Amino acid sequence: MESSLEKIETEPAPRIRVCGIVDGFNLYHALEDFRHAVSEGDRSRYRKYKWLCLRTLLARYVQPLTESLVGVEYFTAYPTWSPDKKLRHATYVSALINRGVHVTFGEFKLKTIKCRATCKQEFQTYEEKQTDVNISTSLIDLAESYDKAILLTEDSDQVPAVRLLKKLHSEKRVFTLPPIGRNSKELTRVCDGRFTMTEQALVDSQLPNPLPIVKDGRQTAFIVKPSSW
């Protein structure tokens, strides 16, 4: 006899939308200069991992059954005073865009600094501008598009932005992911948790070299990793 009870089909719970927000210079300097090196040679131990796929890296911190990585935001600026450096960085940015990363640019500006040593001479250097503000505003501006943010930075300047996000959207969750070898106790305190970046994560998240460019199902070009950074 057939049961008179109808089977009720339940809709699967919606996935938690995760957005990765990456401080490009914070990550670059951590890879360029290992802060806890035991020798001068050890300072460069992570430089070989700069050809890094940010989508692959951040996907490692997303729960595959309950969460979905809906976007990766990368914040950087071009070193316009050096054509070679700019070209290398532009090559990497092109690779990231090819992998679906959205890039927001700041800029470098000249700044006059007075030597703190005995000479007391003034000299000019380039200082990156806008990236911190761009990250902060995007964290708030994009809030409707995500449920959980992974903030890849150690910069405590983002503490006020996280606090404001929590004030405006108390249901949002923010996790910090400091670059390898770095930490930020202040930022961790205002976030919902902290992930740890490992060397194995960097190994497993490298872009192909060369990186094929596929359009309409066929390879049309490729991007080659710069020989140096």
Average pLDDT of the segment spanning 63-73: 97
Tokens at residue 181, please? 């070898």
pLDDT tens sequence across 87-101: 999 999 999 999 999
Q: Is residue 76 within 8 Å of 210, Cβ to Cβ?
A: no
Q: Is residue 32 within 8 Å of 185, Cβ to Cβ?
A: no
Q: Is residue 35 within 8 Å of 46, Cβ to Cβ?
A: no
Mean pLDDT, all residues of the chain: 92
Average pLDDT of the segment spanning 146-159: 98
Question: How high is the pLDDT of residue 12?
Answer: 78
CATH superfamily of 16-223: 5'-nuclease (3.40.50.1010)
Q: Give the percent of the chain with pLDDT over 70.
A: 89
- Pairing mode, strands 218-223 and 102-105: unpaired
Compute the distance between CA of residue 137 and CA of residue 130 in angstroms, rounded to an integer: 10
Compute the distance between CA of residue 172 and CA of residue 18 in angstroms, rounded to an integer: 10
Compute the distance between CA of residue 173 and CA of residue 98 in angstroms, rounded to an integer: 28
CA distances (Å), 171 to each of 1, 138, 167, 168, 191, in order? 48, 17, 9, 9, 12
Q: Quick check: 103 pLDDT over 90?
A: yes
pLDDT tens sequence across 8-31: 566 778 999 999 999 999 999 999
> Structure pTM?
0.89
Residue 123: which pLDDT band, with cuts at 50, 70 and 90? Answer: low
